[in-house]
Amino acid sequence: MKKRIFVTATNTDIGKTYTTLKLLETYASRGVRVGAIKLVETGVVDGVYPDGDLLLSKLQELNPSLEDFRVSDIVPISYELPAAPYIASQGKALDFDVLNRAIDKMEAFCDVLIIEGAGGLFVPVDANFMMIDLIPFFNATALLVTHCSLGCINDTLLSLQPLQNRNIDAIMVFNCREEDQDFSIVSEPFFLNNDIEVLKLSQDIDTICDVLYNL
């Protein structure tokens, strides 16, 4: 089995796809064959995959052996309604056969597979699975993406605790944006004073990739 990294986040619109793209670029720059799967994407309308299209374009740029792949190979399950998969699918059970076939196909051409989740850890995928359940199911290491705006302490701790309680191998990265210039004053001191490592996507991507690969 190849190295699998599951990118999740404290909520939606935190930067999972952006983080996935940064991981792909960094590993590829080291000569590693990269692959990516977004297990489920919602909000797919008229054949436009907001995240899947970006991932496919980047993968074909970085890994020439994927030139014949289509977006459906990157996003094996999709729905039109922009909602949690459980809602968007009207309660349909997640088809793990479809997901496993997509992963097997991708892993034939890569050494590191980035699996991107949808929303946060407790987004319902179907009646039986939350997003957090898929991380150990697919034998992946987790990368938790959190934000740097006011409220990140609460949001981050609420997501870290269940990962720790389930003994899921995970690290955390802060996706700080231009408007988050006060992070070092209003939030970062708490993490540092409580021995929680602050890795920032913008400046620590090499360290992040090293740690994930060796977990």
Burial of 175 (0-12, 13-18, 19+ CB in 10 A): buried
Element (H, E) at 112: strand 112-116
CA 20 to each of CA 87, 150, 156, 205: distance values in angstroms, whole numbers, following the listed order: 25, 24, 19, 11
* Cα gap 155→134, rounded to integer Å: 20
Tell me the sheet residues that pair with 48: 45
Rounded CA separation 207/190 (Å): 22
- Residues that are catalytic: 38
Cβ atoms 40, 81 nearer than 8 A: no
Strand partners of residue 144? 8, 172
Cβ 34 vs Cβ 63: under 8 Å: yes
CA 210/CA 113 separation, integer angstroms? 15
